[in-house]
Structure 1
Amino acid sequence: MGRQEEAIRVADELLADIELKRLKASEIVLKASRLARLVGHTELTEFLGLERNGYGTARSTNAWISRAGRWADKEKGTRYTLSIGKVEAQVEANQQAIDAMRGGGDYSGDNILLASRRHDERIITSAGHIGTWAGICAQVVATVYDMVAEIYHELLFSELQASLFADTQEKIDGSLAAASGTALDKIERVSDRLRDGDSESVSQALTTCRRLIDSCADYVFPARDEQYTIGDGVTLRVGPQQVLNRLQAHTHARGASKNRRDRLRRTLSDLYERCSAGTHAEVPVDEARFVFLQTYIVLGEILTLGASESGRS
């Protein structure tokens, strides 16, 4: 099992542990610490470290003090700094004190009313302490739950993305390999140049992207002398230089809807223009990477168009 799969499993278990109240607060903190280590979550790691080891008086921890409900008096700056394990111990100690005082005392004599009142006050005081310490435990658990739930959904989304990208990449790579025997080599060269990051390499990468578009157009719709009609009396020149027109003609021939054809045409036009401009002007490497990724995806969509949309316009 990989780290991501293990992290998803631990997060799922931890959410269930909290929802079903299967673990104490200190046990939840320890289990969440494993999740934080698996995913490298800085904020969760910091919070859980404070909960395990206790808080100091540093103002940098004030945000966590608030989230954990640990202010004794916020205006005065007093706080409850005990570790979560010791907080639980305070809950148990005060509960034991109340249990020991249940049933009242065996009072007699002139001070019976005073002794009885003091007995009741001790119970009330211990109950108040339980409320304070148990409230901290509950707030800590709630904070952990919120952060773990966020991590869990991020992990699931990441896993879904990885699966979708892997499936899409397999389809696109297969189509590109069929479209041009050197297409995948072109992609490898683009990747190498973008990793270099210098302006000359970026320019060469964008030139390669443009040639990749050209080679795909040659494959799906070879140049021809006669014009291509796409409906409503609209015709396209589809000669050797009309690369984008030929790709548009291909999407029409494959039965893509008009909305889809228009979107692909606009995207390809923007990409082709950017790739062409990038050979003459300096383009930031980050922008070039996105241009490459968009080119890869839109060509993949065009190459994998089926006839399932035939008849729609």
Structure 2
Amino acid sequence: MERLDVAAWCAIQLGDQKYTRTLQALINHLVDTSVDHESKSAKEKTDQLLKKLNELKLNEKFHYSNEELNIKASTGGGGYASIGFIEERYADLIRLRKGNDGTHYKSQLSNHINYVKRKAHSQASEIFNQLKFSGTVQNCFDTLKTAADDKLLDLNPELAEQLMLAFKAVASTKSEEWSQALTTCRRLIEGLADTLYPPSDQKQNGRALGPTNYVNRLWAFMDKSIASNSNKELAKTHIDFLGSWLEKVNKISNKGVHAEVSQIEATKAVFHTYLIVADILECATESPPGSVKKSINEATLDEIEAQLDVSRAIAKEIFKARVRQGKLNTASLSSIKGVGPKAIRLAHEAFDIPE
């Protein structure tokens, strides 16, 4: 089994200049604030660089996605240097108990290392499952369960733990654990709605989006995440189908609270919950950039430093301004000394910022 795309990605992480020279040139071009990116010459240069990457058989979604470019664009995080070099710089800063060495910043190096580990683990798991399940349909549900567990762990570890415990509970011989599994399914779906589409006083398509309207909020999330206009009717049918399953799981869960349920009912509920979670998180993965962003007023100091590509000192000033003013918006962020157009652009890409 050949996975040349994975081999190329590994070569990039090891600093192979066959790939990194062109990738770095693309980043430099994209972040150059002196360039009018709508001009004909700028577009031609972008097309030339993309053509080179295509000739190198690099894939946009896999080898230079927005997430990958954001990680590599940070010189403080090591850029396109070898991951070994990046780990050495991080270890040096830990040993010296310093936040930076003037070029590399501990938090940005850490973000870079964690990203590479996470993606490498994801690819290793995918290859393992391809080898494990090739030529057989045995344990197909394990494939779905593993994928759902991994995605939910990335999104919300507490929800992932709930789902795994519910799966464990239905294998028990105790009926009270079956009932608890059903209750857990309902709470998990509510928690998933809270994470992906928090409660709002507004309505969407006539549907209330309050704290108790978690099914409606998941519908709203799906509406927002499925971007293809050509498949609008299909998407709508998909959402309604998904919503009906959520209602059924909810009813079974409520039954679990008030009456004795069988093991098969509990098992079906957990299996359907896994299907629902996998479906929703697929949309979360494919949702357009910016559709679900963390508010800059909830960002940690490390997140501000890493995502805005600013020094630790400037990140602290941003954090202090937020505490002082109660919240940040575009105007107040722009007024902070050291926050220039590039940082503002990166902030809007990474966070939700009130106007």
TM over 0.5: no
Q: Which category of TM-score, normalised to the shorter sequence, fits these structures?
A: 0.3 to 0.5
Q: Using CA pairs under 8 Å that are at least 6 residues apart, name the structure with larger relative contact order, 1 or 2.
A: 1
Structure with bigger gyration radius? 1
